[in-house]
Amino acid sequence: MATLGNPKNTIEVLQKYNFNFQKKFGQNFLIDTHVLDKIMKESGITKEDMVLEIGPGIGTMTQYLAEAAREVVAIEIDKNLIPILEDTLSEYDNVTVINEDVLKVDIRKLSEERNQGKPIKVVANLPYYITTPIVMSLLESRIPIDSITIMVQKEVAERMQEEPGSKEYGALSLAVQYYAKPEIVANVPPNCFMPRPKVGSSVIRLTLYEKPQVEVSDEKLMFSLIRASFNQRRKTLVNGIGNASNLNISKEQVMKALERMGLPPTIRGEMLSLEQFAELSNLL
């Protein structure tokens, strides 16, 4: 079987199966071997590893993963791609394809059955419209994961590694950085995909921490505070949290807590670091 990482072979496979791209699944297939090599290098996969791939498409990256890893489980939502994957991956006996929505798959059970509960590595070329829900569900699930190496929209990757005070910094930055260390490892222009997306992409690697970076007594409360602070970016933190109907916290309480932290009552959420949100949460 020819490797798929180039336009010619990709077109041949798509024509052979009369495949039509599905807008609703945000399908953009990688057609650049340099990018594939880079993803493989940055994900650090070895023969010891079990890899979970989300959205294998026609199996372009899956072939690379199968060569590098001990075992690959690829989850593909589009049933029209399943016969193609059976063909393009026919030479590999260490790949399992599951036709399912990744948000409905019990990944913990998979890793227990196939990897004795040891940490798995996740690699994916994620559809843009559902990047955040997938990333957050992987991080929040507390499934043993070593690292997540994903292709995402460039601005989403930047948001994941943003620092306080910038206009891209927000709830996603804080959530990702609570669980993992984010590093953008490659920028990928639109012409590396078929069909071409309208925006640039980046490969970002999230290396998960053994335990979160900050001590917080009520994680759920901290994330509710973070969401409330960024819901209305132009508002001060005091107003954002004080106006949040799901939080029973008065503006006075927030002001007192900020005062104890040595912060002005007019401060906005985007100025607070993860450590400060944890401290605020613990005080409240």
Please give the radius of gyration of the chain, using alpha carbons only, rounded to the nearest integer.
21
Average pLDDT over residues 47-55: 97
pLDDT over threshold 70, residue 2: no
DSSP state letters, 219-243:
HHHHHHHHHHHHHTTTS-HHHHHHT
Q: Dihedral of the CA atoms 92, 98, 101, 105 (nearest 10)? A: -110
127-178 pLDDT, tens digit per residue, is: 888 899 999 999 998 899 999 999 999 999 999 999 999 989 999 999 999 9
| pLDDT class of 21 with cuts at 50, 70, 90 | confident
Domain range summary for the chain, segments of one domain joined by +: 7-208, 219-283
User: For residue 226, what pLDDT is reported?
Assistant: 96
**Average per-residue pLDDT for the chain:** 94
User: For residue 1, what pLDDT is reported?
Assistant: 52
pTM for the structure as a whole: 0.92
Instruction: Please state at what angle helix 171-179 crosses helix 131-140, rounded to 10 degrees.
Output: 40
CATH architecture for residues 219-283:
Orthogonal Bundle (1.10)
Q: Which fold has domain 7-208?
A: Rossmann fold (3.40.50)
**CB-CB contact of 13 with 58 (8 Å):** yes
Average pLDDT over residues 56-75: 97
pLDDT over threshold 70, residue 78: yes
Separation CA 283–CA 280 (nearest Å): 5
* Angle of CA points 195, 32, 97, to nearest 5°: 75
89-122 pLDDT, tens digit per residue, is: 999 999 999 999 999 999 999 999 999 989 999 9
Parallel, antiparallel, or unpaired: how do β-strands 145-153 and 201-208 relate? antiparallel
User: For residue 142, what pLDDT is reported?
Assistant: 87
User: For residue 5, what pLDDT is reported?
Assistant: 81
**CB-CB contact of 19 with 81 (8 Å):** yes
Parallel, antiparallel, or unpaired: how do β-strands 71-76 and 120-125 relate? unpaired
166-225 pLDDT, tens digit per residue, is: 989 999 999 999 999 999 999 999 999 999 999 999 999 999 999 888 999 999 999 999
